Amino acid sequence: HSCCRAKTARQAQNAHAYAKCHGRCRQWTAPKNEPQPLETTLHAFATLALPNSYLFHQSLAGSDLIDKSDLSQWDKPPPYQFAPPLWMPDEDQFTQNLLDVMHGRQLCQLRESCARHAVRLNAGDITGILKEIRAARKHLIDGWIGLDACITTLQECTREKVMAKCYQQWQARKILNYQQEECLLASGENPYM
């Protein structure tokens, strides 16, 4: 029961920090050379629901039960240069399982990044963290239009299209996560609590 109370308290604290940040910080706007709907598009991708499957949770926990040997190929942007998979009767289920595993992997990597930033924040390296997340966010935003165009015109197999959209979703999540981190740090808050 104390675990549930702690989780509820943390959720309330995070909601308060988010509201405080967005009340004090300037609204993020797309760079002048980007179309204005970019923020809306990013938000739409970043807020897509994550799976709640066994494989998602195992991947998120870093379980050794999952074969990770071929997963790094999906950490890269499309287009993918793989030979098309052989058709198999359970191809759709395989693709769904792969998608769940990659969502867990990406969330795990995001949490690890935040944990590294928390250590640096505790060491007083706010300037270094801000510099890093601003550069990372700028890099992701600069690549967004090309990524979106690439995914829109993909002529690859279903699995590769699904995984490309997963990659795109996580780029949007990272952009908005960096934005929130920067906003909270700039207002003196700790985004890693």
3-44 confidence digits (pLDDT tens): 444 545 555 555 555 455 444 444 444 455 545 488 899 999
Question: What pTM was estimated for this model as a whole?
Answer: 0.78
What integer pLDDT is reported at residue 140 of this predicted model?
A: 96
Q: With beta carbons less than 8 A apart as the criterion, state whether 17 and 191 touch.
A: yes
What integer pLDDT is reported at residue 89 of this predicted model?
A: 81
pLDDT in tens, 55-66: 999 999 999 899
* Concatenated DSSP letters of 16-35: HHHHHHHHHSPPP---TTS-
What integer pLDDT is reported at residue 155 of this predicted model?
A: 80
CA distance linking residue 176 with residue 178, whole number of Å: 5
3-state SS record for 129-153:
HHHHHHHHHHHHHHHHHHHHHHHHC
